[in-house]
Each structure stands twice: as structure tokens, then as C-alpha cells.
């Protein structure tokens, strides 16, 4: 299949060729297109991982808050029991 690119800036062609290591513009753009498709899949996977990690962090934050609250209540109860003991 013949794909023709019109009005492509020479500096863009040079950058794509340098980035891909390809000598010709057509091979460089083909390489870049294939690479971009792979990156899209990788980005999707990474976004899922970030979402999972955010969920994990939120669950851990809630667990820590509950533990802090329980520890505070326990400290309050322990301190109140000292009132009942004669010194």
C-alpha cells in the first residue's frame, strides 16, 4: 500500500528519522506508527495500574485512619480507668 505524506516539515522528518534510527522517511514514519500503536497499549495498561494503585492507597489510608481512631479511643478508655484506681 502506498502512503504519501504531503507538507511534512523537514525538521519533523529529521526528528522522526533520528528517533527511529531509520535512514528513509517512509521507513521512519512506518516504524514510528508501529511504535505508537504499541505505546497506546502500554499507556492503557499503565493507566489501569495507576488506577489500581490509587485504589490500594485509598484503602490503606482508610485502614490507617480507622486504626488511628481506634488507638485514640483505646487511649481514652485506658486513661479513664486510671481514675478508678487509688494511688
Q: What would the grid cell of residue 87 be? A: 494511688
Indicate the number of domains in the chain.
1
**Closest listed residue to residue 1, CA positions, set 26, 31, 36:** 26
Does 3 map to a domain? no
Range of the domain at 34: 10-84
**Cα 68 from Cα 64, distance rounded (Å):** 6
Q: Could you tell me the pTM of the whole model? A: 0.64
**Cα 14 from Cα 24, distance rounded (Å):** 10
Does 63 map to a domain? yes
Q: What is the pLDDT along the chain (87 residues), one digit of tens a residue?
A: 777 888 899 999 999 999 999 999 999 999 999 999 999 999 999 999 999 999 999 999 999 999 999 999 998 888 776 666 655
Q: Are 31 and 22 in contact (CB under 8 A)?
A: yes
Does 2 map to a domain? no
Does 53 map to a domain? yes
pLDDT of residue 3: 78
Does 1 map to a domain? no
Amino acid at each position: 500500500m502506498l502512503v504519501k505524506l504531503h507538507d511534512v516539515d523537514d525538521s519533523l522528518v529529521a526528528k522522526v528519522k533520528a528517533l527511529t534510527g531509520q535512514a528513509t522517511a517512509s521507513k521512519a514514519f512506518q516504524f514510528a506508527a508501529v511504535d505508537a500503536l504499541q505505546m497506546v497499549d502500554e499507556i492503557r495498561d499503565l493507566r489501569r495500574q495507576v488506577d489500581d494503585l490509587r485504589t490500594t492507597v485509598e484503602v490503606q489510608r482508610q485502614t490507617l485512619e480507622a486504626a488511628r481512631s481506634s488507638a485514640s479511643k483505646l487511649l481514652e478508655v485506658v486513661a479513664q480507668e486510671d481514675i478508678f484506681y487509688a494511688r
